[in-house]
Structure 1
Amino acid sequence: MSHANLMNNYFNPNSVYTEEGFRRRFRMRRHAFKCLLRDVQQVNPYFRQKRDRASRPGFSSHQKVYKDEYLREPNQEDLNQLIRKAEDRGFPGLIGSLDCMH
């Protein structure tokens, strides 16, 4: 039921919140969010919906992405982890160039 509410409020064609309301709340356009969600699902299996032992559907991908852990501001530990990953991949200082929403 919470998935249905989430979809009705933010993602269905006649959702409660308009595109402007979505963008104000989540600081990105709905289309960008959907693209990010699709990309994250391909890279990280955690974000794919799975079935539990009783074959009932678990949390949807949308629900997993909206948890507080992913919506909050990054703390210093998060930033350090991102910087280390970027450096390991040959991109030192990448955290400074993440804002490409222009």
Structure 2
Amino acid sequence: MGDHDLFLDYFSPNPRYGEALFRRRYRMSRDVFLQFVGIVRNHDNYFHQRRIAIDILRLSALQKITVVFRILSYGVTAYATNEYVKLGESTSIESMKRFCQSIVEIYGERYLRRSNDNDIARLLDIGKQCGFSVMLGSLDCTHW
């Protein structure tokens, strides 16, 4: 039931809730979210939906990753995500652990390291184009 409702609400060809509401609730576009789903599902079989009987499917990647983003976006507990997405607390916690582990394994070498000269040059160039020529020189630039 949770997967079907989630699909109809946000991921069907004609979802009940449009892109603006998706962006507000997920804090990103639907396309970016679906990229995360695909990348993480391909990396870790835990996120594959399995069949436990002829007509019964287990939890989907959409359910598991939706829970992860709700916990991260809103700072709620794993238990608080149960009502809509239909995942238990232990599954929500396991989904969070596996998602974070997957992200570190996929992106860690590139993004979770000290910046090199090429990274700094690229970021400074982007900053200049946006009018923030000394962006890396100021740690307190979040108030702009």
TM bracket (short chain): 0.5 to 0.7
User: C-alpha distance in 1, partners of 2:72/2:59?
Assistant: 23
Q: CA RMSD, aligned part only? A: 3.0
User: C-alpha distance in 2, partners of 1:41/1:57?
Assistant: 16
Q: Identity over the aligned pairs, expressed in percent?
A: 29
Aligned twin of 2:51: 51
More helix by share: 2
Aligned twin of 1:30: 30
User: C-alpha distance in 1, partners of 2:66/2:49?
Assistant: 14
- Which runs of no fewer than 5 residues in structure 1 stay unpaired? 95-102
Aligned twin of 1:98: none
**Greater RCO structure (CA 8 Å; 6+ sep):** 2
TM-score (norm 1): 0.66
TM-score (norm 2): 0.49
C-alpha distance after superposition, 1:26-76 (max 9, x if no partner): 011111111111111111111110122x34311111111122x4432399x
- Which runs of no fewer than 5 residues in structure 2 stay unpaired? 76-96, 116-144
Q: How many residues align?
A: 85
Q: 1:92 aligns with which of 89, 100, 113?
A: 113
